[in-house]
């Protein structure tokens, strides 16, 4: 009889151990996904890392698009992006943005910044009102057959706010 009970116990134990191990394993794995760290969109560094960095796919010196069309907008690093965004556009006419006298970023005025105008159609429509500059910036987010890379509303608002606050290097 003792032998029968031991035999039954030995048969039950692996199942119990398996159930225990599964429970331990399942409780150690949770449904919680680690969230990516929140990017500070009030800072240029946050705007660059969350959106402008992807512009480097075309706007960097080794890219054919850059060589063919854009003379001075380099988004390949945060430092280069900030420096080139603070310049007068100087784009070649065939780009279609055609606003060589405008700054990519006019500190304090998103409505007069080429960067914001190419992301916001309403701004592009009004960018040269009341000035002697004649141009119509083209809405531009990876045109020519590329995958659209529109900023989210949050990113777009952050870019606008950053420019309006003087476009600080932070």
The reported pLDDT for the residue numbered 117 is 86
The reported pLDDT for the residue numbered 168 is 97
Coil, helix or strand at residue 103: strand
The reported pLDDT for the residue numbered 57 is 80
The reported pLDDT for the residue numbered 50 is 93
The reported pLDDT for the residue numbered 94 is 41
The CA distance from 134 to 137, in Å, is 10
The reported pLDDT for the residue numbered 165 is 97
The reported pLDDT for the residue numbered 100 is 66
Exposed/middle/buried for residue 117 (C-beta within 10 Å: 0-12, 13-18, 19+)? buried
The CA distance from 159 to 96, in Å, is 22
Cα separation values, 25 from 16, 30, 102, Å? 14, 10, 61
Assess contact for 111 and 127: CB atoms under 8 A: yes
The CA distance from 130 to 52, in Å, is 29
The reported pLDDT for the residue numbered 104 is 87
The reported pLDDT for the residue numbered 24 is 43
Name the phi and psi angles at 99, rounded to 5.
Answer: -125, 65
Q: pTM for the whole thing?
A: 0.69
What does each of the 170 residues of the chain score in pLDDT, given as a tens digit?
555 554 554 555 555 544 444 444 444 445 556 666 788 999 999 999 999 998 888 788 888 777 776 557 899 999 999 999 998 776 554 445 556 677 889 999 999 898 898 888 788 878 877 776 667 676 565 544 445 577 889 999 999 999 999 999 99
Domain boundaries of the chain, sorted by first residue:
44-164
């Amino acid at each position: 009889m003792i032998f029968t009970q031991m035999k039954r116990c030995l048969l039950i134990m692996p199942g119990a151990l398996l159930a225990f191990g599964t429970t331990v394993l399942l409780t150690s794995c949770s449904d919680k996904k680690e969230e990516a760290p929140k990017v500070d969109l009030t800072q240029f560094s946050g705007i660059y890392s969350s959106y402008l960095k992807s512009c480097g796919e075309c706007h960097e010196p080794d890219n054919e698009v850059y060589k063919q069309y854009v003379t001075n907008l380099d988004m390949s690093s945060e430092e280069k992006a900030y420096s080139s965004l603070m310049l007068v556009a100087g784009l070649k006419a065939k780009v279609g943005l055609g606003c060589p006298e405008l700054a990519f970023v006019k500190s304090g005025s998103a409505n007069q910044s080429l960067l914001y105008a190419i992301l916001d159609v309403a701004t592009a429509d009004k960018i040269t009102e009341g000035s002697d500059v004649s141009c119509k910036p083209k809405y531009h987010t990876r045109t020519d057959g590329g995958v659209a890379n529109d900023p989210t509303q949050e990113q777009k608002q952050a870019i606008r706010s950053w420019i309006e606050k003087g476009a600080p290097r932070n």
